[in-house]
Amino acid sequence: MTATLLDGTATARAIKDELRAEIQSLAARGRRPGLGVLLVGDDPASAVYVRSKTRSCEELGMHHETVHLPASATTGQVVSQVEDYNRRAEIHGILVQLPLPPQVDSERVLRLVDPGKDVDGFHPWNVGLLVQKRPRFVACTPAGIMELLARNGIAVAGRRAVVVGRSDIVGKPMALLLLHADATVSVCHSKTRDLAAVTREADILVAAIGRAGLVQREHVKPGAVVVDVGQNRVEDPEQARQLLEPPRLADFERKGYAMVGDVHFPSVKDVASAITPVPGGVGPLTIALLMKNTVKAAAQEA
């Protein structure tokens, strides 16, 4: 058995296509959705993510602005920019690109984002609403995964789901969304004993722990749906040989690096019923749901 590939790029494209009419309608009423982005420092990955997000805004005809502060920025400077975005009517969604430099109080910054503009779903108010099953804005990656499952006809209710990773950005909200969809949910993490024994119970397995190739064939129940959230840059040739299939290995040799997930794709694809690739799986969905949340924020104020 070879797993069906869950195409996140195609699903993200479908979501964006559905947003176009609503964006045009809002713009006609003088409420063109607007995203305000705050980038602090010179982290290359963060810069790539921001470019991808603003490019999506341009494709959809949304307003966007990016303020780029230096790596030496203080908490006060970051807070000042967030407060400026909070005040401005043409900015409906605020994205503070994480991680922030160590001298910046990230928790304070995220708490100060207007909850009605918190399109990343990180503000304590929005997290609390999600816990109560009254979601307003939900973290984009978990929300995108739920869209992927639904649009591929993958049932969640009554199934066993295991989430590997307990971050505030992915693991915890993912577990809550699956729970609210009537799955029986377990959350694993770095202190979980006999990880494979737990993950082998999963009908739906979500890997979001940030370790390249951690989830191997022995972690996966035959026929499980495997969702790989990992985005790990591999530069070591020996590690690449262990993690990549021949076509991607040849690409690695040309580029000198490759992005891989938390799942060992070559072995797991032969036991899972469906699996997300890396790249082209969860990543595009995160951006699509950011757009969807921003449009929702604009519509709520209309």
CATH number at residue 189: 3.40.50.720
Angle at 204 between CA 200 and CA 210, to 5 degrees: 80
Q: What is the pLDDT of residue 97?
A: 96
Q: What is the pLDDT of residue 210?
A: 94
Same domain, 48 and 86: yes
* Threshold 0.85, pTM exceeds: yes
Which among 54, 81, 116 is the end of a domain?
A: 116
Q: What is the pLDDT of residue 301?
A: 64
Same domain, 109 and 146: no
Per-residue pLDDT tens over the stretch 204-262: 999 999 999 999 999 999 999 999 999 999 999 999 999 999 999 999 999 999 999 99
274-275 β-sheet, strand order: 4-5, 274-275, 225-228, 204-207, 160-164, 184-188
Cα–Cα distance, 169 to 122 (Å, whole number): 7
Same domain, 191 and 272: yes
- The answer to whether 1 and 269 are in contact (CB under 8 A) is no
Per-residue pLDDT tens over the stretch 146-195: 999 999 999 999 999 999 999 999 999 999 999 999 999 999 999 999 99
Q: Annotated active-site positions, please?
A: 53, 97, 120
182 CB-near residues (< 8 Å, 6+ apart) = 156, 157, 158
25 assigned to some structural domain: no
83 assigned to some structural domain: yes
235 assigned to some structural domain: yes
Per-residue pLDDT tens over the stretch 87-123: 999 999 999 999 999 999 999 999 999 999 999 999 9
Same domain, 185 and 104: no
Angle at 173 between CA 169 and CA 175, to 5 degrees: 130
Pairwise pLDDT comparison (293 vs 45), residue with the higher score? 293
Same domain, 262 and 185: yes
- From the list 146, 13, 19, 178, the residue with the least C-alpha distance to 93 is 19
Same domain, 160 and 271: yes
236 assigned to some structural domain: yes
Same domain, 83 and 51: yes
Q: What is the pLDDT of residue 83?
A: 98
**What's the domain count of the chain?**
2
Same domain, 86 and 170: no
Domain that holds residue 189: 140-282
* pLDDT for 302 beyond 60: no
Same domain, 37 and 165: no
What mean pLDDT do residues 267-287 have?
97
Same domain, 76 and 155: no
Residue 53: give its domain's CATH number.
3.40.50.10860
What mean pLDDT do residues 127-146 have?
98
Q: What is the pLDDT of residue 23?
A: 97
Same domain, 171 and 43: no
Same domain, 152 and 261: yes
Q: What is the pLDDT of residue 44?
A: 87
Per-residue pLDDT tens over the stretch 11-68: 999 999 999 999 999 999 999 999 999 999 998 889 999 999 999 999 999 999 999 9
